[in-house]
Amino acid sequence: MGSKGRLEGKVAVITGGASGIGEASARLFASEGARVVVADIQDEKGGRLAKEIGDKALYQHTDVGRESDIRGLVERAVASLGRLDIMFNNAGIAGEGGSIESMSVENFDRIVGVLLRGVFLGVKHAAPVMRRQGSGSIINTASTAGLRAGYGNHIYSAAKAGVIGLTRSVSMELGEAGVRVNCICPGFVPTPMIGVARGLTVEEAEARLGIVAESFAEAQPMRGPILPEDIARAALWLASDESRYVNGHALVVDGGVTGGRMWRDYRRATGDLKGVLTRKG
């Protein structure tokens, strides 16, 4: 007999599950024994992914900003698969950049509606199911942009900081019921979302992922790029019983970029300063 997977017998819901980090997580979770509900607005991609995974996966059209969609998603998971052990609130958009005065209220509402409201709704509707079970792992996708300035546009950064704060706050409540709430802060990960935010179609963004990956290769001290699969493995650990006493944690997976100034930049700057100080007038 083969060894059991790390998520054997567990049921996982993954929002934004049709591509990028969500897709990598759906495939990995299923390979580790979980039954997976892939939730997304990309119906063709999501449905195809669920079929590729096989009888361990379902697809559900879900707009994470709509409470009725999230409620229906959780209800289907429980009705079809019997329980809910892992809620991975991963759906995201990058949104538009620019100066603060150039940003519209409509753009603010759209970004926050997905990144923060979507996480809030996922946590809200997973909580009563997991509380009744006395167990569960809720994982939220945050970002290094929620920890340090300069890694995302203003609204994106604010929303991701909100995800980190919400995670820590709710973990104190649900931890008492045996339910863990954590978040992951990815660094520079090449996903289609980046291209879409810059005006490309999903297909065009996917076709140019190699360009994005190349540009991210030296964005952190450890040579990259960081891949969606790297984030999926972090999510797998938080979803599994191996992290059973990890609660209220923001797990940073960024190759060291939030550690501080790049060593090569420091060496360059101090080398230039040495030249200035030793230059003869």
Contact, 107 vs 95, CB < 8 A? yes
From 70, 33, 27, select the one nearest 49 (Cα to Cα): 27
For residue 101, the SS3 value is helix
Contact, 257 vs 187, CB < 8 A? yes
Phi-psi region of 4 (alpha: psi -120 to 50; beta: other; left: phi over 0): beta
Single-letter amino acid, residue 148 = R
Measured at the CA of 149, the angle between CA 145 and CA 152, to 5 degrees, comes to: 45
156 is catalytic: yes
From 30, 29, 32, 31, select the one nearest 5 (Cα to Cα): 32
Residue in 59, 151, 156, 245 annotated catalytic:
156
End-to-end CA distance of the chain: give it in Å, rounded: 79
Measured in whole angstroms, the distance separating CA 42 from the mean position of its chain's CA atoms is: 17
What distances in angstroms separate CA 71 from CA 68, 123, 156, 209, one per listed residue? 5, 11, 25, 33
What distances in angstroms separate CA 182 from CA 12, 30, 163, 174, one per listed residue? 15, 21, 10, 11
Tokens of 143: 């970002």
Q: In 144-281, which residue ranges form alpha helices assigned H by DSSP?
A: 154-174, 192-197, 202-207, 209-216, 228-239, 263-278
Catalytic residues: 156
